[in-house]
Amino acid sequence: MTENDGRKRREVATPTPVYQSLVHYLIVRREPTGFVAPHTFFRFGERVMPVFRAREAARRFIDARDLGEGWYVKGFSVGELISLLSALTRG
């Protein structure tokens, strides 16, 4: 981008984003009503849903367990993840 301040044209740097969109990975299955992510596990009496920062880690998690057909790894932005988790806790 260039800017003309009346004297000469000069380059104006495009602002660099402070952070990139973070991606988190969940194990999901697609259903007619949307995504299903019921993979909650119990640890010390509390429900836990595994959320991964690396796609490969989530794939290894699937490979290490017999989850059945249709489960796969899907990346979610922070906003998508919040919406999904909110919907799961309401439903």
Q: Per the confidence metrics, is the pTM higher than 0.85? A: no
Distance of alpha carbon 40 from alpha carbon 6, whole angstroms: 63
| H or E element, residue 73 | strand 72-77
Going by pLDDT thresholds of 50, 70 and 90, the confidence category of residue 1 is very low
Which of left, alpha, beta for 70 (phi over 0: left; psi -120 to 50: alpha)? left
For the stretch 31-63, pLDDT in tens is 888 777 756 666 677 777 889 999 999 999 888
pLDDT of the residue at 56: 94
| H or E element, residue 85 | helix 78-90
The most confident of 10-14, 28-32, 35-39, 87-91, by mean pLDDT: 28-32
